[in-house]
A and B are shown apart, each in its own frame.
Chain A
Amino acid sequence: EPEVTQTPSHQVTQMGQEVILRCVPISNHLYFYWYRQILGQKVEFLVSFYNNEISEKSEIFDDQFSVERPDGSNFTLKIRSTKLEDSAMYFCASSYGGGRTDTQYFGPGTRLTVL
């Protein structure tokens, strides 16, 4: 069964450094998402992406964050200057359609630790 993959599984970085988290969505999916889950807390929506554009973003997704689909398979989340509070699990998800009834499939996540 096709699945979303994410790399790396764990990233440790120093405060102020840039990080890029990578995702390979399911191949025929058209809509891509990033979510964040701080340890012990709920999953929070960051951004949705379709047709090479951000379709929606949350208040968490400020100017420090950016997303890109650099080629036909990867979908990346960049944090320009990491802060301690960026430490969290970051989940990528994809769906075939962007409609409200479309199922989103989550990747295994990248655990980001900012020191």
Chain B
Amino acid sequence: GQQVMQIPQYQHVQEGEDFTTYCNSSTTLSNIQWYKQRPGGHPVFLIQLVKSGEVKKQKRLTFQFGEAKKNSSLHITATQTTDVGTYFCAGNGNKLVFGAGTILRVKS
């Protein structure tokens, strides 16, 4: 079945440093969605990418969808302590399949 791999599992950065998480699907996706889950919270939808090669920005967050629509990345520029949490990608083939998530910790 469809699998979505996400790396790294964990990243601990100094405040102000950049952060990137990568997502790779075993199958071509119709779209990919990104969610953020704060510690003890629930997944909150961030963005959806649909088109091959698409790049979207939300303030310090940059999201990319690969040309083959099988991989994606989320890049945070100049992390802040408010960025802490787990970032999940979710591949939408015929159902939403979540990656394992990347836990981001930011040291001030």
Contacts and interface: CB of A to CB of B under 8 A. Distances in A.
Interface of A: 33, 35, 41-45, 48, 56, 58, 89, 91, 100-101, 103-109
A44 B3 CA distance: 11
Given A48-B95, A108-B41, 11 more contacts: A35-B98, A41-B100, A42-B98, A43-B98, A91-B43, A101-B48, A101-B50, A103-B45, A104-B45, A104-B96, A106-B43
Most buried by A among B33, B93, B96, B97: B96
B72 interface: no
Q: Which 6 A-B pairs have the closest CB atoms?
A: A100-B30, A43-B98, A42-B100, A100-B92, A106-B42, A106-B43
Interface of B: 30-31, 33, 35, 41-45, 48, 50, 88, 90, 92-101
Nearest to B41: A108
27 contacts: A42-B88, A42-B98, A42-B101, A43-B35, A43-B88, A43-B98, A44-B98, A45-B95, A45-B96, A45-B97, A48-B95, A56-B95, A89-B42, A91-B42, A100-B31, A100-B92, A100-B93, A101-B30, A103-B33, A103-B45, A103-B48, A104-B45, A105-B45, A106-B35, A106-B44, A107-B42, A109-B42
